[in-house]
Each structure stands twice: as structure tokens, then as C-alpha cells.
Structure 1
Amino acid sequence: MDISKQIREGNKDMNEKEVTRRKFKMIHSNFEILNKPWWKSSYDERNVEYFISSIKHLQHVILLSLSDHENNELFWKGYLDLNHERYLLECISSECDVDLTIEFVQQQLKKPDRSLRLVKKIQNLNDAITSIFPSKFFPKLSIDNFTPLLAKQLNQHICNGLIDNAGQYRIKYVMPAQENFVYMSPYLIEDRMNELFRQCREKFKKEDLQLEEAVKFGACFYSHFLSIHPFMNGNGRVARLLLSYLLSRFTAVPFSLYIGTKTRDVYLQCLRESRSFTPNALAALILESIHLSFYNICSVMDLELTLEPKQSCCKEIWR
């Protein structure tokens, strides 16, 4: 695509003081999560307070079941595998705008049709999941490992065999399809990525971090990461896994940004609105997606949702 020389030179020569000024506003919680997002039906009265309370309860229910079967590895492996397969289905369907079935995903993981590019995407994403997340619903992931190198490693997994420069920052100017928007200048990518991840490590190290604030931080990260658009391909899939990493204290991982058949349109509109760097709609989508992910896990495991959780089994995960 042709992008004018004036735009390129303008980005390249951006005033250093302006770059520095922008750095320190990337990760923040100075906004409200959208309480009644436009995609919700008029009769759906669930709000931010409901989702936060319900997520806590659903997590407690899962942790209670985990404590009852903590020595039954086969019991948990089946549900973990199903959670990964569901993630692959929802992520690839939303990212690539294709209709997949869980049976197709399961078949391609066991006996892949290597002639299909879509199958390679599924396999690569599955490899990336297993590389970053241990075989647990709630792994203890060190925020110190949340670095640009982690993003590069994930992109290398995700784009392996699909593009030539997997795991490397792009050196070209790019735009989203059918939109009048230019992603960040390649000259600024490394500096901005370093600062973005530094701010995330700082914010997510807070011992008293709560779900609502964490979701806001996560929405800011997601919005900035995709505006930087550091790689030539696979940015959305990398961003989704990194978001799961950041929120692993509060949700089963990986969780997908998925709320049903209309997800792709909602997701893209949330990204457009977040370019103003007040991602209140994106934060609402993240919160609702976490809730749906937990609810689906409980439903598949046939867990009794009215059970009172044991506080002792939850304290290490939920603060």
C-alpha cells in the first residue's frame, strides 16, 4: 500500500519531547468501564458490578472443585484440553472471520491437514498457548517475565511457517484493512514496546490489585499494543495471549475475547473506539469475556454454582 512520504517523515522526526510525554499515559485506570455497552440487549440488566461479583463467585466454585480433585491429573487434563480447544475455536474464528467447529479444531490438532494455512494457524496458536501457560487453570505467572521478548517469542510461535520475519519487529509502515489509520512508525516500535511493558510490570505488581482496575490496565495495554502493531502479522493473537498473561491472577487462562456470534463486529468497534486511549468499551468486552469463560468452564464441568466457596482455597489467587 502507498503511504505518503510526508507521513513517513513526520512520524520519523516526531519531536522527542512529545514521545516522552506520551509514554507515561499508556497504562492507567482513569476511566469507567462502560456499564451499558451498545451490544447488550435492552433486557440484559447485567452491569459492571454484577460481572465483577459473579466472576469472583465462579472462580471460587472452580477452585473449590480443584481442591477436591487436586491429585486427579487426568480429571483436570480433559477440562484443560477442552478449554484450550475452545480458545482456539473462538480466537481463530474472531481473528480470521471464519466459521469453525470444535470437532474441526480437535481433528486438526490430532491429524492435521498440512495443506491448509488455517490449520497451520491453529497448530501454531496451540503451540504458543502451551509455551506460555502451564497445564493449570490458574498458573502463577511472574510479572517480571512480561517483557517485549515474551511478545517476540509468542509471535515466533504464532507465525512460524506463515511469514518470513516471525518474531521480529516490522520495518514497514502498515494500515488496517479498509480503514484510514496508520499504525505506529517502525522507528518508534522498540522504544514504545519497552515502555509499555515496563508500565505493565509496574502496575500489575501491586499486591492489592483488584479485578476492576486490572481489567482497565489490561484494556489500556491491549489498545496500545495493537496501535503499536509491532509485527507484520499475528498481532491480535499475540495481544490476546499477553492479555491472558496479565489477568492470570483473576481468570482461567487462556480466556478468549468472545461473547457470541457477534463478537468480531463488537471487537473491531471496541478497538476503533479505544484509539482515543480511553478504552471503556474494550474493558467492558474483556470483563464480559472473562465472565463467559468462567461460566462455560463451570457448565462443562457441571459444577454447582450455588456452592459457598472455601476462602482458604482462593486466597492465593484472588486478593
Structure 2
Amino acid sequence: MPDFEEHPFWRAPYADNISTLLPRIKKYNAAVRNFVQNPEYAEFVQGDIDAYRELFITEFNRANSKEAADKDLSEKQQLRRRNVTQAIDELFGNVLVTDSLRMRFDVDLAKKLDEIIGKDLIEDAGIYRVLDAKPEGYGFLYLDPQEIEPCLINLFQDINQPIQPGRDDWYNVATDFLNRFLFAHPFRNGNGRVARILLSALLIHYSIVPLCFFLWKCGTNEIYLKVLAEAHNPVTRNDKLLKSFIIEVVHGTLEHCVNALEIQVD
């Protein structure tokens, strides 16, 4: 029995099971890396990096589906674009694939990312919250503020580097990290954005960077929040849907890249 939900609620009854995506992810990832690392395609790849970066920033700042609305050119939106661009440039560089990070994967990275993302936008960016917090629409609280620091120390001791290539259970590690980090909800604001970039960092050997969350057919922020709540709820503590969601995210991101670069995959 798989440790994820084989046929989650967002998949049509006639759709393939989630397990069929795992071998495709391996094929897509290998094909993209081979293509991107071929000097013959360097100019073409750079154009796709620019286009994908634009897609990511739009999705990241709107926390919405893959349908991109007209850009909001307000000062706040410009600051958001500036900040997220700086965050992904400092961590990954201007690339689609990488085998290493430019910063250590630790607690200080989480704080630094929140500082960058929140610069000129969020008060006390990079500082742990001191008040109780809860997900909107749900009756349970996130981690007690006094437990945040020891929780993050333990989390980054357990998972202190990108997941090494070749693991069949990569989605378990990724889900464990995302679930624990977001339940800690360490900062006043920006937790979801920091978590998404950290997840991309964890999965550099399994996908392109950074990950887009909503490029797959049924991908919406509403589904994401629902599966997170299911995993965080102290009554259910069910992370199987979150695992399936992360598999969908990685598959959808790689499939988009394969199609955009017109890569032939057997």
C-alpha cells in the first residue's frame, strides 16, 4: 500500500493514480537536466528561464491558480516582485536546474528568506512570532510561540540539506519538512512563501527550481490549503493528501518545462 493517497479527491474518477506520476517524474527530470546542460541549447534555455521565472513570480505573489491575471503595477506589487526575485537569485542563481544551493540549508536560511521576502512589506520580517496564530476557517492553533525555536532547531537537525538523489521516498521527506515547518508557522507573515522556497531547495535533485505549485490541471490554492489543514489538524494528522499534492506539484512543474522546451521524452 502506498503511503500517499492514490486517488485524491481532486482527480477525476477516470484519471490515473498518483503512483503513475512517480516514474514520469524520473523521466522528465532526467530529460530536462540533459537538455539544459547541453551547450547547444543555451540560448533557448535562457529564454525559458526568463519565461518560467516570470510565471513563478506571478503565481508566487498571487497564491492563485495558474491563470495569470493582469499584473498589478502598484508599489507593493513591485516590491513583492523585487523581493522574491532576490530570494531565488541568492539561493539558486539564474538557472532551471542546480545540484547545490548558494546558502546553507538551516534555520538561518529560513530567517533570511523571510527577511528578504518581507523587506519593506512586513513588519518584523525574519523575527519569530510571539502571539498565537491559527489557520483561517479552522479551530486549531499553530505551534505555541515558545516552542517555535526548539521546533525549528530539531527540524533542521533532522533535515539539513537537499534530499539526496535516487531516493524513492523523496516525497515523504519533503512532506515531513513542509508539514512541520508550516505547523510551526514561525513568523508573523510570509510563512507560506518561505516554505515554498525551502521546499524547492529540498527538491533540487528532483525538479527544476523554483517549484511552481499550480501548473497541474487541478492545482489551486484552495486545494493546497485544504490538504495542509488535514495534515495539521490535531484530530486527523493525515498527511497522505499532502504527499499526493507534492507529487502533483513536482510532476506538473516538470511536465510544463518539458513542454515549454519541446523535449522529446520516451
- Aligned ranges 1:168-183 → 2 under 5 Å: 168-183=127-142
Q: Does 1:158 pair with 2:125?
A: no
Instruction: Note the C-alpha offset of 1:73.
Output: 4.4
Q: Does 1:60 pair with 2:17?
A: no
Instruction: Note the C-alpha offset of 1:180.
Output: 1.3
Identity of aligned residues (%): 25
Q: Does 1:300 pair with 2:260?
A: yes
Q: Which residue is 1:232 aligned to?
A: 188
Name the CA shift for 1:143/1:162 in 2 (closer, same or farther; >3 Å).
closer
Instruction: Note the C-alpha offset of 1:131.
Output: 1.5
Q: Does structure 2 retain, via aligned residues, the 8 Å contact 1:80–1:137?
A: yes
AA in 2 matched with 1:61:
A
Q: Does structure 1 retain, via aligned residues, the 8 Å contact 2:132–2:142?
A: yes
Q: For 1:247 and 1:292, how far apart are their aligned partners in 2? A: 14
Instruction: Note the C-alpha offset of 1:46.
Output: 3.7
Q: Does structure 2 retain, via aligned residues, the 8 Å contact 1:224–1:277?
A: no
Name the CA shift for 1:143/1:156 in 2 (closer, same or farther; >3 Å).
closer
Q: Does structure 2 retain, via aligned residues, the 8 Å contact 1:92–1:98?
A: no
Q: For 1:144 and 1:92, how far apart are their aligned partners in 2? A: 23
Q: Does structure 2 retain, via aligned residues, the 8 Å contact 1:152–1:167?
A: yes
Name which of 210, 216, 221 aligns with 1:264. 221
Q: State the SS of the aligned residue for 2:193.
A: helix
Q: TM-score, normalised by structure 1?
A: 0.75
Q: Which residue is 2:8 aligned to?
A: 37
Q: Which has the larger radius of gyration?
A: 1
Deviations 1:13-69 (A, max 9, x none): xxxxxxxxxxxxxxxxx9701111111011112431x21111111122212322433
Q: Which residue is 2:174 aligned to?
A: 218
| Aligned length, in residue pairs | 262
Q: Does structure 1 retain, via aligned residues, the 8 Å contact 2:148–2:184?
A: yes
Q: For 1:144 and 1:221, how far apart are their aligned partners in 2? A: 18
Q: State the SS of the aligned residue for 1:201.
A: coil
More displaced, 177-186 or 264-273? Answer: 177-186
Alignment RMSD, CA only?
2.5
Q: Which residue is 2:95 aligned to?
A: 136
Q: Does structure 1 retain, via aligned residues, the 8 Å contact 2:45–2:261?
A: no
Deviations 1:192-220 (A, max 9, x none): 10100110127x56x5751x411111111
Q: For 1:172 and 1:209, how far apart are their aligned partners in 2? A: 41
AA in 2 matched with 1:264:
N
Q: Does structure 2 retain, via aligned residues, the 8 Å contact 1:220–1:277?
A: no
Contiguous gaps of at least 5 residues in structure 1: 1-29, 307-319
Q: Does structure 2 retain, via aligned residues, the 8 Å contact 1:220–1:278?
A: no
Deviations 1:95-122 (A, max 9, x none): 6x89633x63xxx7xxx542xx334323
Deviations 1:267-297 (A, max 9, x none): 1111011115441111111111111111111
Q: Which residue is 2:208 aligned to?
A: 252
Q: TM-score, normalised by structure 2?
A: 0.89
Q: Does structure 1 retain, via aligned residues, the 8 Å contact 2:8–2:244?
A: yes
Name the CA shift for 1:47/1:184 in 2 (closer, same or farther; >3 Å).
closer
Q: Which residue is 2:58 aligned to?
A: 89
Name the CA shift for 1:270/1:143 in 2 (closer, same or farther; >3 Å).
farther
AA in 1 matched with 2:43:
L
Name which of 91, 95, 100 aligns with 2:68. 100
Q: Does structure 2 retain, via aligned residues, the 8 Å contact 1:31–1:280?
A: no
Q: Which residue is 1:75 aligned to?
A: 44
